[in-house]
């Protein structure tokens, strides 16, 4: 009996030792978690915006990420209990801290000797630091000043409330169309103008492809039929990245080989979307080419070619801007506006930046509506921009 037990124990030890040796010789095929993480960090680092408008071509060609890593990155579970407002509030935390907590601290420390002008000067500094920009900060300070009595300067709640109302006025002013209606693009589509053709533009790394994917997926959830065009033919990785989203959104994706003419892709996409009776046609474009001029010429050409297939198109040109680039985003908007007829903006990466004030600067200085805001990488982190929601989230404790 004892001998049998000893033999069994020896056999078990031998079996385990053999397993360990074999595993060392043939490590598992999938990457350990740490490597995936490092790869994703590296991908994000590589994509960081390094110059205001375009990157030099020689250092931007990237190898496609293995599909399983793309899947891991993009296809996070979409079911999340956390409500959008909480997400937006979380995303705006640092901007809140900059403006609202900054004011609270000032009012707490303030002595009776602090003058009205000093209080307004402090507000101006906080706004500029949150990337509201000098021009719009000046405008806001002036508006607040006009609405406050001398006594109000010791009432921090009233002060903040008026600031909040003035920020709301700026943000909401661009959302009303010529008929006085609040626009809901991509949600209420005009039947006689289908497919609704949307061109996604912006510099490299701002989130065009991710946002195209998120919009496609959201449209799919609403029951809309989507066709996607992979007009960033500059990198194979870009096409692969988009195909993951297309698959998920049950959307047909039009792709040509790497290096193909992006305008041809756009043309084919509009043609296919029309033939297929699609509701929405989303065209993702490249963010970087050899130089800014090439990029702008290409976008202009895409616009012309798309209009050949459908004279009303593109119905929407959405400029994607990365909030973390602050005032730089405003410069980008000005450059793109000169080349294509921008109809709306998408402000991504509001999470993790104290520069969320750029939303106010853009609305004020560009007069363009912010259509969507992004506060993270997964699909539930992108939502329609609503001015009241934004100020509530910004000022909420």
Ligand X SMILES: Nc1nc2c(ncn2[C@@H]2O[C@H](COP(=O)(O)OP(=O)(O)OP(=O)(O)O)[C@@H](O)[C@H]2O)c(=O)[nH]1
User: Annotation-wise, does 308 bind a ligand?
Assistant: no
Q: Is the dihedral of CA 356, 357, 358, 363 positive or negative?
A: positive
* 344 in contact with ligand X (CB under 6 A): no
Q: Is the dihedral of CA 375, 379, 382, 383 positive or negative?
A: negative
Please give the residues from 189 up to 218 whose contact with Mg ion meets the rule CB under 5 A. 208-209
| Contact between 139 and 364 (Cβ < 8 Å) | yes
Options 44-52, 230-238, 332-340, 347-355: segment touching Mg ion (CB under 5 A): 230-238
* 57 in contact with ligand X (CB under 6 A): no
Distance CA 11, CA 26 (A): 22
Partner from Mg ion, ligand X, none contacting 303, C-beta within 5 to 8 A by type: none
* 349 in contact with ligand X (CB under 6 A): yes
* 356 in contact with ligand X (CB under 6 A): no
User: Annotation-wise, does 207 bind a ligand?
Assistant: yes
* 205 in contact with ligand X (CB under 6 A): yes
Helix 156-172 with 358-366: angle, nearest 10 deg: 50
* Nearest residue (CB) to ligand X, 237 versus 305: 237
Instruction: Beginning with the edge strand found earlier in the chain, give each strand of the sheet holding 252-254 in spatial order.
Output: 252-254, 226-231, 280-285, 196-201, 316-322, 344-348, 370-374, 382-384
Distance CA 74, CA 70 (A): 6
Partner from ligand X, Mg ion, none contacting 115, C-beta within 5 to 8 A by type: none
Element at 252 (helix H, strand E): strand 252-254
User: Annotation-wise, does 104 bind a ligand?
Assistant: no
Partner from Mg ion, ligand X, none contacting 377, C-beta within 5 to 8 A by type: ligand X
Q: What are phi and psi of 181, to 5 degrees?
A: -95, 150
* Nearest residue (CB) to Mg ion, 55 versus 136: 55
* 377 in contact with ligand X (CB under 6 A): yes
Please give the residues from 273 up to 292 whose contact with ligand X meets the rule CB under 6 A. 287-288
| Residue in the block written with tokens 């375009």 | 54
Residue 278 tokens read as: 């699609």
Distance CA 104, CA 110 (A): 10
* 232 in contact with ligand X (CB under 6 A): yes
Residue nearest to ligand X (CB): 287
* 208 in contact with ligand X (CB under 6 A): yes
Contact letters (x/-) for Mg ion, 236-275, by CB under 5 A?
--x-------------------------------------
* 233 in contact with Mg ion (CB under 5 A): no
CA 3 distance to own-chain centroid: 69
Partner from ligand X, Mg ion, none contacting 279, C-beta within 5 to 8 A by type: none
313 phi-psi bin (left φ>0, alpha ψ -120 to 50, beta other): beta
Specify which residues 201 forms β-bridges with: 319
290 phi-psi bin (left φ>0, alpha ψ -120 to 50, beta other): alpha
Choose, by CB under 6 A, the member of 95, 136, 209, 325 that binds ligand X.
209
Options 120-128, 170-178, 184-192, 206-214: segment touching ligand X (CB under 6 A): 206-214
| Contact between 354 and 319 (Cβ < 8 Å) | no
User: Annotation-wise, does 51 bind a ligand?
Assistant: no
Distance CA 56, CA 3 (A): 74
Distance CA 62, CA 46 (A): 9
* 249 in contact with ligand X (CB under 6 A): no
Annotated binding site: 202-209, 284-288, 348-351
Residues of the binding site for GTP: 202-209, 284-288, 348-351
> What are the residues binding ligand X (CB under 6 A)?
44, 47, 202, 204-210, 232, 238, 287-288, 348-349, 351, 374-377, 381
The residues binding Mg ion (CB under 5 A) are: 208-209, 238
């Amino acid at each position: 009996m004892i001998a049998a037990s000893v033999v069994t124990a020896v056999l078990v030890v031998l079996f385990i030792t053999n397993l360990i040796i074999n595993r060392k010789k043939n490590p598992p095929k999938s990457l350990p978690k740490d490597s995936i993480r490092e790869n994703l960090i590296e991908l994000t680092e590589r994509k960081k915006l390094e110059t205001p408008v375009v990157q030099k071509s020689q250092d931007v060609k990237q190898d496609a990420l293995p599909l399983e890593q793309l899947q891991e990155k993009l296809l996070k579970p979409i079911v999340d209990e956390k409500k959008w407002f909480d997400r937006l509030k979380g995303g705006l935390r640092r901007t809140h801290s900059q403006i609202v907590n900054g004011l609270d601290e000032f009012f707490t420390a303030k002595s009776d000797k602090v003058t009205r002008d000093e209080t307004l000067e402090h507000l101006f500094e906080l706004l500029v630091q949150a990337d509201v920009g000098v021009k719009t900060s000046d405008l806001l300070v002036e508006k607040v000043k006009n609405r406050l009595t001398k006594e109000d300067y010791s009432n921090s709640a009233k002060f903040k409330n008026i600031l909040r109302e003035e920020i709301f006025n700026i943000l909401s002013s661009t959302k009303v169309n010529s008929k006085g209606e609040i626009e809901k693009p991509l949600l209420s589509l005009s039947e006689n103008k289908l497919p609704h053709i949307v061109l996604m533009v912006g510099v490299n790394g701002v989130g065009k492809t991710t946002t195209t994917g998120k919009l496609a997926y959201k449209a799919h959830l609403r029951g809309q039929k989507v066709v996607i065009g992979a007009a960033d033919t500059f990198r194979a990785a870009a096409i692969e990245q988009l195909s993951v989203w297309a698959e998920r959104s049950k959307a047909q994706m039009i792709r040509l080989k790497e290096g193909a003419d992006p305008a041809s892709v756009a043309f084919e996409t509009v043609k296919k979307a029309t033939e297929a009776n699609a509701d929405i046609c989303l065209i993702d474009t490249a963010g970087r080419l050899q130089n800014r001029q090439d990029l702008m010429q290409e976008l202009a050409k895409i616009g012309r070619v798309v209009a050949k297939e459908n004279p009303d198109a593109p119905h929407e040109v959405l400029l994607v801007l990365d909030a973390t680039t602050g005032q730089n985003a405003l410069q980008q908007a000005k450059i793109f506006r000169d080349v294509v007829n921008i109809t709306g903006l998408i402000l991504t990466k509001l999470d993790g930046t104290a520069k969320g004030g750029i939303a106010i600067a853009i609305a004020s200085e560009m007069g363009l509506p912010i259509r969507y805001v992004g506060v993270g990488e997964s699909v539930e982190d992108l939502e329609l921009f609503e001015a009241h929601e934004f100020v509530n989230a910004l000022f909420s404790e």
